Amino acid sequence: MWSRAGWGIRFSSPIGVWQAEHVDLPHVEAQLDTSQTLFTETQIRDRLEEMAREIETDYEGRELLLVGVLKGAVMVMADLSRALNRHLEIDWMAVSSYGSGTSSSGVVRILKDLDTDIMGRHVLIVEDIIDTGLTLSWLVTNLRSRGPASVEIATLLRKPDAIQNEVDVRYVGFDIPNAFVVGYGLDYSEKYRNLRCIGTLAPHVYS
């Protein structure tokens, strides 16, 4: 087993300041151009479980529709929805905000719309990451115009330093530094989505 040692990052999250520990990367991931693991599979799962408990409490007695934003939210949706011990429905939208590079373009367009009429529904948008906030602020406005009972956001990651459009996010897994991250649904040129952990991309990959 290959291991990476001797580093530590501190950054804040809703559950306090999070201290990255020495992490063993699976051999396959070590070879996949990630320079640092920010969150292991276990840490992601544990945080999603905590978020699920909050959501269960907040939506008790109300029907819940999870709306995943393709493609990045696939892993979060799969694990968060299964962590929720209650009935729910799932739908998907695909919107585009990034090019194939490492920063937001600011352009948002619908590539796939919902199959569900959300009039009167309680909608919880499920995202992998909020970066500039452009995508989510646009999406929330769009969905609210359809007459839902409520629209809230759950995101695994948020970059407070990159935000350009303030978005009211109800559930945040981790606040992270303004670095390019991949894995667990997050891509660089469509690669790395299948990593079980989340890590920063080594600069040599995109420079």
Which positions lie near ligand PRP, rule CB under 6 A? Answer: 69-72, 96-98, 104, 127-136, 187
- Please report how close the Cβ of residue 167 comes to ligand PRP at its closest, in angstroms: 8
Smallest separation, CB 164 to ligand PRP (Å)? 8
To the nearest whole angstrom, how small is the minimum distance from the Cβ of residue 19 to ligand PRP?
26
**Residue with Cβ nearer ligand PRP (29 or 187):** 187
Closest CA to 124 of 157, 90, 97: 90
CB closer to ligand PRP out of 23 and 124: 124
Residue 182 is inside which H or E element, if any? strand 181-182
Question: Measured from the CB atom, is 25 or 73 closer to ligand PRP?
Answer: 73
Q: What does the alpha-carbon distance between residue 29 and residue 47 come to, in Å, rounded to a whole number? A: 21
- Burial-class residue 27 by CB neighbours within 10 Å (0-12, 13-18, 19+): exposed
Catalytic residue among 79, 128, 131, 187: 131
Considering beta carbons, is residue 23 or 126 the nearer one to ligand PRP?
A: 126
CB of 136 to ligand PRP, least distance (A): 6
Is 131 annotated as catalytic? yes
Residue labelled with tokens 């989340």: 198
DSSP string, 119-171: TT-EEEEEEEEESSSHHHHHHHHHHHTT--SEEEEEEEEE-GGG-SS----SE
**Minimum gap (Å) between residue 102 Cβ and ligand PRP:** 10
**Closest-CA residue to 143 (of 65, 207, 195):** 65
Question: Which CB atom, from 11 or from 30, has the smaller least distance to ligand PRP?
Answer: 11
**Residue 185, phi-psi category: left (phi > 0), alpha (psi -120 to 50), beta (remainder):** left
Cα 85 from Cα 14, distance rounded (Å)? 22
Quick check: 70 and 112 in contact, CB under 8 A?
A: yes
Q: Looking at the annotation, which residues are catalytic?
A: 131
